[in-house]
Structure 1
Amino acid sequence: MNEPSPIRHVSDTALWVTIYRAMESERPDRLFSDPYARRLGGERGEAIVRAMPKGAATAWPMIVRTAVMDEIVLRCVADGAATVLNLAAGLDARPWRLDLPSSLRWLHVDMPDMVRYFREQMTGEAPRCEVEFVGADLREADARRALFERAAAHGPVLVISEGLLLYLTPADVGELARDLHDVARARWWLMDLGSPRLRKFIERSRWTRQLEHASMHFFPEEGTAFFAPYGWRESEFRSTWGESLRLKRSVRGAWFFKLLSRLQPAAQVEAGRRMSGIALLESR
């Protein structure tokens, strides 16, 4: 218990999740292929997975999130998205691994050090579409709005905030939601979202100490309705649990939880479904 936390900064979570993508990509029945993930996650990412309690066994929610978001990104692009604004992009290699049109404009945004690391690791690799790297701290309002104005110039805009919002305060998320609507004039916003029930689960888990340097804050009681005052409405919600069953990437003993859900009141089942998920919002 005296060993230091394997995650020293929130940016380390990108290395951690990327190794999960590598694990999935190396399966014969893989849901997606990310040939860059093992390289991008590196030794540090592998060490984090080893150090996390049941690190390999808890890969399934991240794998489900990646697979579902891949599906929705491709659909939005087919529906006319011309610019993708990928916030806190981390080590996301979608422009290199997905079948995207060459005319698509992809803005890969993260803190300067993370952008620098990603570019170094991807030297010599050619993306499928036009990629622009942006090193920026999204908490700086002027820089954020200047970036969003640039994104708006070539719409329709799809925003991705995979693995970002839960590390922000509700006030920060509100400002981001307003600027994405009013300044970026985004049409779609793809996000992962957790409820207070998920917060309680994390707090009771063995991950509390490991995540002490990556504090989580955003678990809105009202779910996607949180974003309504800022001009957004829910277009689609995919439950992480439900999608894990569909994709056959669920927790061990899933059959027991499926059986248990049949005995629960409908409201309790819905609360469980909304505990964690992938949401697509559209501007109103």
Structure 2
Amino acid sequence: MVESLISISEVSDTAIWMAAYRAEESLRPDALFTDPIAEKLAGELRAAVLSSKVAVPGSRDGWPPVVRTALIDSLITRSLTEGCDRVLNLAAGWDTRPYRLDLPPALSWFEVDLPKIIDAKNRVLADEVPRCRVTRGSVDLTDPAASAAVVTAMADGARQPLVITEGLLQYLEPAEVRALSEILLAAGIRWWITDLWTPSMLRLVNRTMGRHLGQARWAFGPARGVDFFQGWTRVDGESIFSAAARWRRSPVWLRSAAVLPGALLRSGVVRLRVAE
């Protein structure tokens, strides 16, 4: 079982990594966030994941996904203050934001992922109380017709819905990302929060982790960044490397480089809005 999580066979297997890193971050005195449920989700596999050298290129402490989590938390909060009235988390994995963020109780929060993730999450979190209204459903996001039906249904009736695709797009082919973008536009999505990685990072991850990723190798690293997304405009966001340096999460040797301009720093979290 431990080996199956270190040598992953599909994208959903990475969810346990993220829970383990959130649990570890939550123990720090200067934690960027606190996720008391992450320990339950990571369970006995947490130690094996955190001791693995392959979980994140060049890092055992998972600082890139930790920083990404904190940046997305901030953008979600900002969207809520700007009128967001519904959240759709696609490929939600073991995300626990409905249980730990300060959310309006009347907010509708939808999560979708593969059936095995949704079934396990419903079972493990059965006794936990979310801070808003949470609904989960299963869908294969590489199936355009199924994705369109689910997204359209979830967004129905919302005035300014937000979509989150944390840790998803890099595993899709460019054509699949474009199809998803068109689905979100057609469904009336207002904001879209996602992480984007440069082609150089895509090559680095596949070169250093390729034998462990199996069928879940990275495939999407747009050379034009947010310009790839027709019909959307960038509202805000930040480089993961710059934020990691500011929060002292990245290795010391990388922090000085994070203040310099460069292609690497374009890897980060962005919030897109429908172009007007």
Secondary structure, in 3 states, of the residue corresponding to 2:223?
coil
The answer on whether the counterparts of 1:6 and 1:48 sit within 8 Å (CA) in structure 2 is no
Secondary structure, in 3 states, of the residue corresponding to 2:216?
coil
Separation in 1 of the partners of 2:102 and 2:237? 24
Range that drifts further, 194-203 or 78-87: 194-203
Among candidates 265, 272, 282, match of residue 273 of structure 2? 282
Q: CA deviation at 1:215?
A: 1.4
Residue 100 of structure 2: aligned partner: 97
What are the ranges of 5 or more consecutive residues in structure 2 without an aligned counterpart?
Answer: none
Separation in 2 of the partners of 1:66 and 1:189? 15
Q: Match for 2:9: what amino acid?
A: R
Aligned residues: 269
Residue 29 of structure 1: aligned partner: 30
- Say if 1:155 and 1:147 are closer, same or farther in 2 by CA, change over 3 A: farther
Separation in 1 of the partners of 2:140 and 2:55? 32
- Say if 1:45 and 1:172 are closer, same or farther in 2 by CA, change over 3 A: farther
- Say if 1:12 and 1:46 are closer, same or farther in 2 by CA, change over 3 A: farther
Q: CA deviation at 1:16?
A: 0.7
Separation in 1 of the partners of 2:168 and 2:126? 25
Q: CA deviation at 1:42?
A: 2.3
The 5-angstrom pairing of residues 183-194 of structure 1 reads 184-194=187-197
- Say if 1:124 and 1:67 are closer, same or farther in 2 by CA, change over 3 A: same
- Say if 1:227 and 1:104 are closer, same or farther in 2 by CA, change over 3 A: same
Residue 233 of structure 1: aligned partner: 233
Residue 159 of structure 1: aligned partner: 163
The answer on whether the counterparts of 2:198 and 2:225 sit within 8 Å (CA) in structure 1 is yes
Secondary structure, in 3 states, of the residue corresponding to 2:213?
coil
Q: CA deviation at 1:145?
A: 1.7
Pair 1:118-2:121 in alignment: yes
- Say if 1:187 and 1:203 are closer, same or farther in 2 by CA, change over 3 A: same
What are the ranges of 5 or more consecutive residues in structure 1 without an aligned counterpart?
Answer: 262-268
Q: CA deviation at 1:45?
A: 4.7
Separation in 2 of the partners of 1:54 and 1:179? 32
Residue 266 of structure 1: aligned partner: none
Separation in 2 of the partners of 1:193 and 1:124? 34
- Say if 1:135 and 1:270 are closer, same or farther in 2 by CA, change over 3 A: same
C-alpha RMSD of matched pairs (Å): 1.9
Q: Match for 2:226: what amino acid?
A: T
Q: CA deviation at 1:251?
A: 1.9
- Say if 1:97 and 1:54 are closer, same or farther in 2 by CA, change over 3 A: closer
Residue 250 of structure 1: aligned partner: 250
Q: TM-score, normalised by structure 2?
A: 0.91
Q: Identity of counterpart residues, as a percentage? A: 39
Q: Match for 1:83: what amino acid?
A: R
Q: TM-score, normalised by structure 1?
A: 0.89
Among candidates 263, 266, 273, match of residue 265 of structure 2? 273
- Say if 1:44 and 1:57 are closer, same or farther in 2 by CA, change over 3 A: closer
Separation in 2 of the partners of 1:90 and 1:46? 19
The runs of 4+ residues in structure 1 deviating greater than 4 Å are none
If you compute each CA radius of gyration, which structure gives the higher value, 1 or 2?
Answer: 1
Residue 73 of structure 2: aligned partner: 70
